[in-house]
Amino acid sequence: MDSKATSSQPSTQLCLSTLSRRWSAFGWVIFSLYRYYSWFNKYLLALLLCCLSFYLGCSQEEANNQPVIDRFIAPTEVSVGAKADLHIIARDPEGDPLTYAWSATGGQMENAVSRTVSWTAPDKAGPFTVTVYISDGVSAPIARTKQIQVKAPNVPPEITDLVLPQNIVATEVVKLFVVATDPDNDTLTYAWAVDGETISGASKAKIDWEVPTELGQVTIQVTVSDQINPPVQSSKTVTIVRASTIAPGQKADAITLGDPFQKTQQTYGQPSIFEQVDDLIFFAFWNPDLGVSGFIDGEEKTVVAAFIQAPNTAKTGAGNGVNSPLVSVEEEFGPVEDIRDNLEHWYWTRGIEFDIRDQHVEQIFVFRPVLERLLAAPAVKAHNTDGTGRRSSASPPISDQVEDILYYKRIRGNYRR
């Protein structure tokens, strides 16, 4: 805040007015002394006139006006150790040359006798006062002060954590999350990139990222800025892998039932086999052998069923996959609903079938569940289908009664390897 200009110079207006009022009396005294007293000779008259001239000259000098300050230009706030320019605009009514003198309660002043000076703020925060004195060489100097707040330097934001999964499944949508703080409570902005390529629209601390189909390691980087300091960055390397889960009725490895086959190709590449089978198309990824195959609808080109074989390591929620023991499968899915040819173990209501050889899983078939028709079928005594005493959960076999089951049976029958 600016202070008003101050001065210790007494006003001369009263002296001048008093002198003008008494001038006639003063002149009459001089004339009387000269006229009636012989000892008041011309020498004394000359001395008295000299004293009077000196007094009048001093009175005239005291009447000089002080300089006028128009503006005091200085910042109200600076950072610790920062430099600031201070500028004073002043003038003198009589046109007398002005001189300047600057001072401050802290910091260092350069060229402190000019209209414009450079002030280096102290190395500690707090309020400090700068003062400028202006003189015309005649009147007493006037002063103007201003308080400047010195602030601690702005601190860059800090990234405390970058939350990413170690393995990311191709084609899935995953959440990326960064934890960042700013000591000065500045508003933060975010930018995300993968292998140097900016993720479009990713400008928040938590984003959803659609994982690309290319497998392998990628580096995910986040940049955080407070728009004041240089931005800070953090990065992690993650591995993009294929989905290796089996969800009955929904998913086999990275293949999701109902998805366009084009999405499957984005994950696995070009199939080694792609053949028309009736109104369906059989596909397989066996060169190199990924242990994945299936069927797509010939018209809609969407996946309708999928097979998992060795060497694929996809697992169900309980960890069952190729080479898992039959007892483990039954612990997860319950008693088998239908057995065919002493090989195929069907769970129609779940949408999954296991080929069992030597009491272990050889192959897994995932399809859409046949739930409503199965629930509508009457419960009957178990029917022996394999000659070993193992019985299915219904008799006669449900696959002989339900159209949807026949459809998947046909698909299963068309499969070959």
Give CA–CA dist 312/324, Å, rounded: 12
Q: Of 121, 153, 185, which one is at a domain's C-terminal end?
A: 153
Burial class (CB in 10 A: 0-12, 13-18, 19+), 373: middle
pLDDT score recorded for residue 41: 59
Strands annotated E in 105-256: 108-110, 116-120, 126-135, 142-151, 158-163, 167-169, 173-181, 189-194, 197-198, 206-210, 216-225, 232-241, 245-247, 251-253, 255-256
Query: Quick check: is 198 in a domain?
Result: yes
The pTM (predicted TM-score) of the whole model is 0.50
Q: Roughly how many angstroms between the first and final C-alpha of the chain, as a whole number?
A: 89
148 and 27 assigned to the same domain? yes
142 and 213 assigned to the same domain? no
pLDDT score recorded for residue 71: 94
> What burial letters (b/e) apply to 36-63, b meaning 16+ CB within 10 Å?
eeeeeeeeeeeebeeeeeeeeeeeeebe
- How far is CA 199 from each of CA 192, 202, 204, 223, 226, rounded to the nearest angstrom? 6, 6, 11, 12, 20
For residue 71, the cross-strand partners are 89
47 and 97 assigned to the same domain? yes
266 and 220 assigned to the same domain? no
355 and 385 assigned to the same domain? yes
Query: Quick check: is 158 in a domain?
Result: no
Give the angle 304-309-315 at the CA atoms, nearest 5°. Answer: 85
Contact 195, 182 (CB under 8 A): no
Place of tokens 């198309």: 281
Contact 265, 255 (CB under 8 A): no
231 and 108 assigned to the same domain? no
283 and 228 assigned to the same domain? no
Residues with Cβ within 8 Å of residue 133, at least 6 apart in sequence: 100, 101, 102, 103, 141, 142, 143
Query: Quick check: is 231 in a domain?
Result: yes
pLDDT in tens, 366-391: 999 886 444 444 443 333 344 333 33
pLDDT score recorded for residue 221: 97
Annotate 18-33 with three-state secondary structure.
Answer: HHHHHHHHHHHHHHHH
pLDDT score recorded for residue 215: 83
Query: What does the CA dihedral 309, 314, 319, 324 come to, rounded to 10 degrees?
Result: 10
Query: Quick check: is 161 in a domain?
Result: no
Which of 132, 137, 147, 138 is closest to 90 using CA atoms?
132
pLDDT score recorded for residue 393: 41
Low-confidence ranges of the chain (pLDDT < 50): 7-23, 25, 58-61, 372-401
Query: Quick check: is 160 in a domain?
Result: no
Domain that holds residue 295: 245-414
pLDDT score recorded for residue 5: 52
79 and 139 assigned to the same domain? yes
Query: Quick check: is 119 in a domain?
Result: yes
CATH of the domain at 106: 2.60.40.10
Q: In the chain, how many domains are there?
A: 3
Q: Of 122, 153, 184, which one is at a domain's C-terminal end?
A: 153
315 and 208 assigned to the same domain? no
Query: Quick check: is 65 in a domain?
Result: yes
233 and 317 assigned to the same domain? no
pLDDT in tens, 184-233: 999 999 999 999 999 998 999 999 999 988 888 999 999 999 999 999 99
54 and 184 assigned to the same domain? no
> What burial letters (b/e) apply to 150-169, b meaning 16+ CB within 10 Å?
beeeeebbebeebebeeebb
249 and 367 assigned to the same domain? yes
pLDDT score recorded for residue 60: 47
For residue 148, the cross-strand partners are 128
Query: Quick check: is 162 in a domain?
Result: no
Q: Of 153, 181, 196, which one is at a domain's C-terminal end?
A: 153
